Amino acid sequence: MTAGLLAFLRRDWHERLLAGTARTPLESPDGARWLARWALVCMIVAATLVLACGYHAGFVRLNAWAAGYPDWIWQCLTVLGDERVPFALSLLFSLRYPRVFWTLVVSAVIAILYSRGLKELVDSARPPGVLAADAFHLIGPGHRHHSFPSGHSVTAGVFFGVLIYHARLIEWRLLFLLLAILAGLSRVAVGVHWPVDVAAGLMGGALAAWLGARLAARWSGPATDVSVHLAIVTLAAVLAIGLLYDDGGYPEAALMLQALGAGALLSALLQYLVLPVLRWRRRG
């Protein structure tokens, strides 16, 4: 009975993955243009800030403006750039849209290389390491090093960038773009990144999504490989579990993180086990 169920589950998962890939085209020229233009705008913003006003340009003014809004808003926005959140959210569509899921995985690897590599190479000081404590509004942990680029902005840029690439409606693309920008802006609002860091982070995330989509289209086999897919889903589930008990230093976002983690885990349980088992029992 157990062997029969496992064999059925594997066949069912494979069939769902094949059906899911048919829902999403291999490439999206329009989505690629959106990402390229977005990355170009971010590059222009970053270069203008640095060349016209210096590396710290715009921080004090933006941080002071953001302080006029409740801290919980910025905490909830900034955790969208927590690396665990995109992987947890991907469980909501991983089986139905495996091509999007695979694109996200490939893009995430590129984004990690970009973010971690530049952080080690540049190692610039963050606002808490430069400014006096009473000179700006700090929310959450006061990190002092590895400012460039903003890792949270890279994460938000790559996750929402992949969704922008694959979205079919302009309304969805605009929403995803707005969420990415707000997540990046929140890093200035919580007081741990300069605006240049954010612009460079969003640029890197958009470029990682663009390059990841091209590579995923040319190396599409793993999107329907059950073993590869389940390994990545398991990793995403572990990261989603982490959201249930670790708020990342932003306690007012804890409830939202717990809801996202629980929702992602329940969705995965339903898609990968409950519904297939019910189908197996009906066939039996």
User: In tens digits, what is the pLDDT along the chain, a chain of 284 residues?
Assistant: 587 888 999 999 999 999 999 889 888 999 999 999 999 999 999 999 999 889 999 999 999 999 999 999 999 999 999 999 999 999 999 999 999 999 999 999 999 999 988 888 888 999 999 999 999 999 999 889 989 999 999 999 999 999 999 999 999 999 999 999 999 999 999 999 999 999 999 999 999 999 999 999 999 889 999 999 999 999 999 999 999 999 999 999 999 999 999 999 999 999 999 999 999 988 86
Half-sphere exposure at residue 70, Cβ-oriented, CA atoms within 13 angstroms: 5
Cα–Cα nearest to 266, from 241, 242, 283, 247: 241
What's residue 119's pLDDT?
A: 85
What one-letter code names the amino acid at 62?
L
What's residue 265's pLDDT?
A: 98
Q: What distance in Å separates the CA atoms of residue 34 and residue 206, rounded to the nearest whole number?
A: 9
- For 220, phi then psi, to 5°, come to -90, -10
Note the pTM of the prediction, 2 decimals: 0.95
What's residue 120's pLDDT?
A: 84
What's residue 1's pLDDT?
A: 54
